[in-house]
């Protein structure tokens, strides 16, 4: 069995990809985006972190977050987010015998991808990756058209030109996913 090692860096900024167990042809995250948003806000209130970029796609999400200067416990935060979201949904997903024996839901993949941001160039590349993802997956023709993204917040703050990623020059502020 592989030996999974985590990098602990208090105050670090991290890029994450978190997937549903059945990612393909699954729109669970966007169907329940308000619930996910409420859970993330609750965890942020109890265990603070800064959201630099976040996008929710039908079967997975990406984000860039920064932890407080003396804190490196992102696994606890992801555990709370995933468990809170799972508990908020009715139990109607297929679960393997292993998950049943462990009392686990069949919603999330157990692991997630994390990457410690090294410098400003790395940060900018990952924030761009987060925001371009709906376009990359063919969900929209323009980045600005995907409502479950901090792209809109970044656009209103001048981080991006409103036509970045095929936009039309108008920054919409009435969107669902603003952290």
Residues 6+ apart with CB under 8 A from 74: 14, 16, 49, 65, 67, 114
In terms of pTM, does the model score above 0.75?
A: yes
Active site residues: 148
Q: Encode burial over 130-155: b for 16+ CB neighbours within 10 A, e otherwise.
A: bbbbbbeeeeeeebbbbbbbbbbbbb
CA atoms within 13 A on the CB side of 7: 12
The H-assigned helical ranges of the chain are: 28-31, 33-46, 74-88, 97-102, 120-136, 151-156
Return the structure tokens found at 108: 């999330």
Cβ atoms of residues 59 and 28 within 8 Å: yes
Cβ atoms of residues 6 and 114 within 8 Å: yes
Query: Which stretch of DSSP H or E encloses residue 63?
Result: strand 60-66
Rounded to whole angstroms, how far apart are CA atoms 103 and 156? 44
Per-residue pLDDT in tens (0 to 9) along the chain, 179 residues? 566 677 889 999 999 999 999 888 799 999 999 999 999 999 999 999 999 999 999 999 999 999 999 999 999 999 999 999 999 998 887 888 887 888 788 899 989 999 999 999 999 999 999 999 999 999 999 999 999 999 989 888 888 887 888 855 454 444 444 45
Range 13-118 classified under CATH 1.10.630.10? no
């Amino acid at each position: 069995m592989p030996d999974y090692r985590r990098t602990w860096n208090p105050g670090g900024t991290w890029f994450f990809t978190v997937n549903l167990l059945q990612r393909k042809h699954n729109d669970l995250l966007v169907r329940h985006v308000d619930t996910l948003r409420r859970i993330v806000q609750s965890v942020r209130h109890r265990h603070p972190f800064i959201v630099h970029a976040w996008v929710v796609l039908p079967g997975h999400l990406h984000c860039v977050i920064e932890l407080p200067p003396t804190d490196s416990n992102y696994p606890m935060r992801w555990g709370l987010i995933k468990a809170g979201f799972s508990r908020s949904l009715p139990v109607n997903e297929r679960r393997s015998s292993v998950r049943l024996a462990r009392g686990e839901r069949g919603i999330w993949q157990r692991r997630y991808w994390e990457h410690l941001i090294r410098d400003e160039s790395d940060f900018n590349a990952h924030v761009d990756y987060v925001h371009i993802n709906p376009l990359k997956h063919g969900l929209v023709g323009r980045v600005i058209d995907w409502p479950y993204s901090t792209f809109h917040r970044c656009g209103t703050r001048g981080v991006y030109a409103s036509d970045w990623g095929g936009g039309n020059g108008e920054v919409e502020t009435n969107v669902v996913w603003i952290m």
